[in-house]
Amino acid sequence: MTHKPLRLMIDRKALVSNWRWLAAQSGVETGAAVKANGYGLGAREVVAALAAAGAKDFFVSTWDEAAALGALPDGTRLAILHGLGPDDAPAAKDSPHRPVLNTMSQVQRWRAAFGERPCDVMIDTGMNRLGVAMDALDGLAGLQIDTLHGHLACADEDHPMNAQQLERFRAAKAQVAAKRYSLANSAGILLGDDYAFDLVRPGIALYGGVPRREAELMIEQVVTPEAQVLRVDTLKAGESVGYGATFTADHDMPIATLNIGYADGFVRNLSGKAHAVRGNTLLPLLGRVSMDLVTVDISRAGDVREGDWIALDYKLPEIAAAAGISQYEALTGLGPRFERVWR
């Protein structure tokens, strides 16, 4: 097997702890979004860990993602959030999983192909992205709906749209018969009991993202990137490092070049802002982030040699703020050149 000089250290205990905390906050059945290959961690491993902790409902985006998951643990269920597209019937035919139907054309397609087989439905309560329109709810009569879903557009903020969407979803619930009703994502769970209904669907908070301030001290970091040292040298006073010569040393300093860059999802906007970390010591990154490399000041790192592993300080809220991107991008952008190591 070819060696990879990059790895994501994934903390299984922290993942499970985050799910349990969110479940306690919601007070109802708590599932898990595992789309985008478990937000980049590895969907199979995420499902196994959370199913063992008690999660029963999982969500992916597409039938292709469902197929990649393979057999699920006993007692668990899977829903496909993008529903049943024009080319999805063959995949759905032999699958035990449920589509989340998002348009009336998807509803008609499901009726024609699968009759009274159970499905889920998404209602558009104002996000105008996916979901059956509120004025088309009569067209759902007769469907065997397992779960009726809505999706909150602004739950990470104290925004008037939260209350508006809640009222619209309540109206849809009163009109559409289903076994269960589900509105809240990670941030929605923290809006309070009114948003919980029967099932919640956390995503980013499971993986170390902080969706609202109420979770700041409660969500544990799950993912830590580590990169091998490619080169150790001394940057002399007056010399610069990296493209654009954006950092010039004012004294002699030991530096290390690490096997990580923006091609791996460690974005260029982190130039001059991010840190590596050894033990409890932060090590500043020097100069620009390159496609495959970064340079680190190792003055306070102790003995560092070629081939050593050095972690990047990668708390999602802080990294996202420093890079000017969302926490979702900061996590899911960590690419395939990383080996995923569960501990």
Cβ atoms 240, 248 nearer than 8 A: yes
The DSSP element (H or E) to which 322 belongs, if any, is helix 316-323
CA 270/CA 193 separation, integer angstroms: 38
- The single residue of 173, 236, 243, 273 carrying the catalytic annotation is 243
Provide the total of helices (H) and of strands (E) in the chain, helices listed first.
Answer: 10, 20
Indicate the residue type of 216.
E
Residue 243: active-site member: yes
Residue closest to 188 by CA, chosen among 28, 13, 17, 11: 28
Residue 35: active-site member: yes
CA 272/CA 284 separation, integer angstroms: 8
Residue 83 DSSP class? -
C-alpha distances in angstroms, 147 versus 27, 173, 185, 208?
18, 10, 15, 27
CA 227/CA 180 separation, integer angstroms: 45
Cβ atoms 149, 122 nearer than 8 A: yes
**Beta bridge pairs of residue 224:** 9
Cβ atoms 253, 299 nearer than 8 A: yes
Cβ atoms 85, 103 nearer than 8 A: no
Cα Rg, the chain, nearest whole Å = 23
Residue 75 DSSP class? T
- The single residue of 35, 39, 181, 262 carrying the catalytic annotation is 35
> What are the residue numbers of the active site?
35, 243
